[in-house]
């Protein structure tokens, strides 16, 4: 192999069309350049698969930023392409098979017995949801239902039973207000979702969410966020904005130790993932649970962006290390 590996950064054309301006990933390009490698932009579109394949097969490694569902597009054409080039020996992060194991809401079911887990249920289809959800709602606690893949709160609903037998449902997307409807009307809206995951609603949601960024199994940075979706009417988040912080930020060291020493190794054992199969950039989203506990909300793997600038050198170095190992 050449001493100068060829590395590609792939994103969807619809996400960041080519222009005279620097691409969104300019910081990642710079991190590779600091290591003597001029990374190559690979602008993907479903109607240009053959050209993208030809480009990818000339590379030693490619990092991918493509959301699972966005603007009516999905990864059904991209994933087989990435599997093909990975089988040909190109380092791909994140690989589609790895995304399938850790990047869907099913991971909340697989890891529910961990200390980051909750009483999480899986409904395999609409019939299963229609059969079992009424009994769960009758227990009186608000629930959160999540489709397997999505972004921006789409397909994530808070639902609870009203006194008259109707339900109060609230969509996370766009910080929507609660709506009252019949249970049948609510369930009819789930026909297109397929399998669905249920978690208990976390009453400390207004305290925000902690996003933990990782390179493989090591924490690479943090962000405190305050999502508004699913908050009750009249309740405001206890903060605003999003500020990246380095991995050694003092206030995050307790959760960092749990992530690195306990949670990620246990997740790897459950999912059967070796350390270097984990993506070079991914994140864990945590909500506040009881006491000083945390509840896993989701794992982002397909398109972890934006992420802390301090993490970019580690992403570049990990990529080069994996490529050179090959």
DSSP-assigned letters across all residues of 214-261: EETTEEEEEEEE---TTPPTTPPPS--S-EEE-TT-GGGHHHHHHIII
Quote the pLDDT of residue 251: 96
Quote the pLDDT of residue 198: 98
Which residue is associated with the tokens 């009424």? 134
Distance CA 161, CA 156 (A): 17
The whole-number average pLDDT for the span 150-161 is 90
Task: Please choose, from the candidates 321, 286, 260, the residue with its C-alpha nearest in 3D space to the C-alpha of residue 93.
Answer: 321
Quote the pLDDT of residue 210: 97
Quote the pLDDT of residue 152: 83
pLDDT higher than 80, residue 17? no
Q: Are 235 and 274 in contact (CB under 8 A)?
A: no
Q: Are 307 and 281 in contact (CB under 8 A)?
A: yes
> Which tokens in the block code for residue 121?
């249920």
Distance CA 60, CA 62 (A): 7
How far from the centroid of its chain's Cα atoms is residue 204's Cα? 21
129 by DSSP, 3-state: which? helix
Distance CA 68, CA 260 (A): 26
Task: Please choose, from the candidates 229, 191, 215, the residue with its C-alpha nearest in 3D space to the C-alpha of residue 278.
Answer: 215
pLDDT higher than 70, residue 47? yes
Number of CB atoms found within 10 A of residue 53's CB: 15
pLDDT higher than 60, residue 62? yes
pLDDT higher than 60, residue 222? yes
Q: Is the pTM of this model over 0.75?
A: yes
> Which tokens in the block code for residue 103?
């990047």
pLDDT tens digit sequence for 164-184: 999 999 999 988 999 999 999
> How high is the mean pLDDT of the chain?
94
Q: Are 63 and 280 in contact (CB under 8 A)?
A: yes
Greatest alpha-carbon pair distance for the chain in Å reads 71
Q: Which residues contact 82 (CB under 8 A, 6 or more apart)?
A: 56, 62, 64, 92, 95, 96
Quote the pLDDT of residue 151: 79
Quote the pLDDT of residue 2: 52
The whole-number average pLDDT for the span 101-116 is 97
- Assigned CATH topology for domain 7-94+315-325: Rossmann fold (3.40.50)
Q: Are 319 and 61 in contact (CB under 8 A)?
A: yes
pLDDT higher than 80, residue 310? yes
Q: Are 299 and 151 in contact (CB under 8 A)?
A: no
Task: Please choose, from the candidates 197, 104, 184, the residue with its C-alpha nearest in 3D space to the C-alpha of residue 143.
Answer: 197
In this structure, are strands 282-288 and 294-300 parallel, antiparallel, or unpaired? antiparallel
pLDDT higher than 90, residue 37? yes
The better pLDDT of the pair 103, 23 is held by: 103
Band of the pLDDT at 1, cuts 50, 70, 90? very low
Q: Which residues contact 47 (CB under 8 A, 6 or more apart)?
A: none
Pick the CATH number of 102-117+204-307 from 3.30.470, 3.90.25, 3.30.160, 1.20.1630: 3.30.470
The better pLDDT of the pair 54, 23 is held by: 54
Quote the pLDDT of residue 241: 87
Which residue is associated with the tokens 């009516």? 72
């Amino acid at each position: 192999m050449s001493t100068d590996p060829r590395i590609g950064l792939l994103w969807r054309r619809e996400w960041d069309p080519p222009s005279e301006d620097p691409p969104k990933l300019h910081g990642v390009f710079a991190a590779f350049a600091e290591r003597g490698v001029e990374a190559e932009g690979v602008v993907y579109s479903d109607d240009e698969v053959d050209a993208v394949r030809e480009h990818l097969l000339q590379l030693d490694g490619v990092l991918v930023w493509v959301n699972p569902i966005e603007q009516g597009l999905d990864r059904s054409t991209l994933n087989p392409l990435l599997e093909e080039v990975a089988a040909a020996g190109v380092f791909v992060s994140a690989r589609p098979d790895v995304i399938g194991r850790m990047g869907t809401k099913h991971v909340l079911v697989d890891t529910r017995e961990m200390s980051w887990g909750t009483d999480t249920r899986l409904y395999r289809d609409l019939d299963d949801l229609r059969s079992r959800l009424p009994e769960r709602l009758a227990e009186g606690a608000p629930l959160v239902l999540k489709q397997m893949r999505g972004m921006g709160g789409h397909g994530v609903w808070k639902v609870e039973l009203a006194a008259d037998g109707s339900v109060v449902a609230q969509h996370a997307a766009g910080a929507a207000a609660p709506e009252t409807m019949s249970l049948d009307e609510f369930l009819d809206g789930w026909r297109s979702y397929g399998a669905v995951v249920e978690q208990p609603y976390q009453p400390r949601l207004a305290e925000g969410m902690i996003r933990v960024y990782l390179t493989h199994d090591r924490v690479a940075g943090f962000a405190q966020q305050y999502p508004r979706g699913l908050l009750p009417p009249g309740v405001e988040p206890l903060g605003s904005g999003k500020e990246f912080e380095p991995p050694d930020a003092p206030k995050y060291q307790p959760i960092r130790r749990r992530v690195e020493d306990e949670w990620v190794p246990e997740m790897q054992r459950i999912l059967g993932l070796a350390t270097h199969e984990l993506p070079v950039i991914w994140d864990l989203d945590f909500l506040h649970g009881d006491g000083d506990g945390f509840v896993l909300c989701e794992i982002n793997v397909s398109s972890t962006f934006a992420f802390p600038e301090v993490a970019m050198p580690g992403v570049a170095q990990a990529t080069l290390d994996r490529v050179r190992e090959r």
